[in-house]
Amino acid sequence: MGYFSNSCEGDAWEADNCAHCVHSKQDEDAGMCPVMLAHMTFAYELCNEDRHPGKVILDWLIPRNKSGVGNRRCAMLVRRNGVTDKQLKDWDRYKAAMAEMDATRPADLGRG
């Protein structure tokens, strides 16, 4: 289950997850994301339960890091623009390769 030690930690997690997700409502009247609603409603009540079905579900939705410190990505995260994490990593690799090529290219190449 997602655990946030303070509101700053929760806000940072939401900025990394909810802010990019199709489930996060942009319209004030649309209501809250069901994952966050479930956590805000039941996390405090179920945090010390081990086998309660609600706790198990909350653990699936926002899993803890393997180290036990911090939370992993929301299991329901679907990026608004349809870009996957693999595509983002590939884009970062591409940008790094292009920067490396620019750094090794002779300064007068392509100048006429």
Predicted pLDDT at 110: 55
Indicate whether 91 belongs to any domain.
no
CA distance 90 to 50: 39
Backbone angles phi, psi at 107, to 5 degrees: -65, -30
Total structural domains in the chain? 1
By residue range, what is the domain housing residue 19? 7-81
pTM of the predicted structure, to 2 decimals: 0.65
Indicate whether 99 belongs to any domain.
no
Indicate whether 25 belongs to any domain.
yes
Indicate whether 86 belongs to any domain.
no
Task: Specify the length of the chain in residues.
Answer: 112
Predicted pLDDT at 53: 94
Backbone angles phi, psi at 109, to 5 degrees: -65, 130
pLDDT above 60 (res 16): yes
Predicted pLDDT at 103: 81
The predicted-structure confidence for 50-96, as pLDDT tens digits, reads as follows 899 999 999 999 999 999 888 999 999 888 877 777 777 787 888 88
Indicate whether 33 belongs to any domain.
yes
pLDDT above 70 (res 47): yes
